Amino acid sequence: MSMLDRIQRGPTEEPARLLIYGTEKIGKTTILASIPACITITAEDGGGDLNYERVVVQDWIEVRRTVGDLIDAPHPYRTLGLDSLSALEGMLTTWICDQADVDSIEKVGGGFGKGYTAMVEEWRSFLRDLDCLRDRRRMAVVAVAHSHIRQATDPGADASYDRYEVRLDKRAAALWTSWVDGLLFACIDAVVITPTLRKKGKEVQDPNAKGRVKGDGKRVICTVKSAAYDAGIRFSGVPEELPMSWKELALALRWEAREKAWRPDIALEPVRAAASAAKARGVPGSAIVETARQHGATVGRTGIEVCPPGQAEALIAALAKLPAAERSEGGGSK
């Protein structure tokens, strides 16, 4: 086979990987709680009165074991939430120190950065598990993290400046931000107004005056990198700024359509529901199977497993019209 025979075209449809970071109480956990069929591994108590499905973990071993269980066992979840990477890193650090029998990651292996090297390698192993989860269970991954302010330098700028970044060790942050498909920054929509003064007939900013914040307090998600924060996304057509809402984010990402592409079983849910409804009405299983096959569907031991594109609506309508089996005087069906 030549190279020309291996050329691929069109977008790849793989489960999405998102990382949403921002300041505390901005609404990151609320986003996770709003994702349909999402199970969240949480390492901190930030859910408040939110009603969502989660697994509370106490240490790094529990984190790895929980992801392993999701890989190995069938379950109804389609997205894994991680809340938060900043808290998980604390558990990872404690585990590494316990393994080395030291009280600081700086002392692991005698120092010289060996503790941080061990941390990055463990993160890499964890990401391999997440890739296995995406491949085997076709689950998306949405992680959240806290932010902090770091000083940045730019060769094209006259001076250094502050910017928001993911609150992780810089090596771990680089690993995560390169792995995800979307790095999203959550913040309050506001601008700083700096007072001006008149100098030589021109309005210039007053270097001695403090700026004031102006804005309506609206929480937003930013998708494009700026001097003030790190962000970026690999999906096309996503606005630079979105309301802080899973509904708005999912709409911009075309999440439902993408999910159906990487999870073909989702498209079968209405068909399977129609088959279950027919069975509940007393329609014989043989009639349901025959109708499904007449519409090109594949029926296995677990029910309808494949339905050809464009046939789902017709099959649902046909299943709804199937008559129930007649009952004999003794109560059984004929």
- pLDDT of 199 reads 66
Cβ atoms of 54 and 142 closer than 8 Å: no
pLDDT score recorded for residue 329: 52
Query: How many alpha carbons lie under 13 Å from residue 91 in its C-beta half-sphere?
Result: 20
Q: Which position has the token pair 């359509």? A: 257
Neighbours of 150 (CB within 10 A): 14
Give tens-digit pLDDT for 250-290.
999 999 989 988 887 776 888 889 999 999 999 999 999 99
Check residue 325 and give its pLDDT: 81
What rounded mean pLDDT belongs to the chain? 87
Q: Would you state the pLDDT for residue 301?
A: 77
pLDDT tens-digit readout, 153-188: 776 666 677 889 999 999 999 999 999 999 999 998
**10 CB-side CA count, 13 A:** 4
Question: 262 vs 82, 230, 303, CA distance in Å?
Answer: 20, 28, 20
DSSP state of 6: G
d(CA 221, CA 214): 18
- The predicted structure's pLDDT at residue 9: 67
Please report which residue ranges of 101-217 form alpha helices under DSSP H: 114-137, 170-179
How confident is the model at residue 135, as a pLDDT?
A: 93
Rounded Cα distance, 204 and 218, in Å? 29
Q: What is the pLDDT of residue 277?
A: 93
Residue 323 has which token pair? Answer: 């008559």
Quick: pLDDT tens for 44-98.
876 778 899 999 999 999 999 999 999 998 888 999 999 999 999 999 999 999 9
- The per-residue pLDDT for range 107-165, each reduced to its tens digit, is 998 988 999 999 999 999 999 999 999 999 999 999 999 999 988 777 666 667 788 99
Tokens of 41: 């591994």
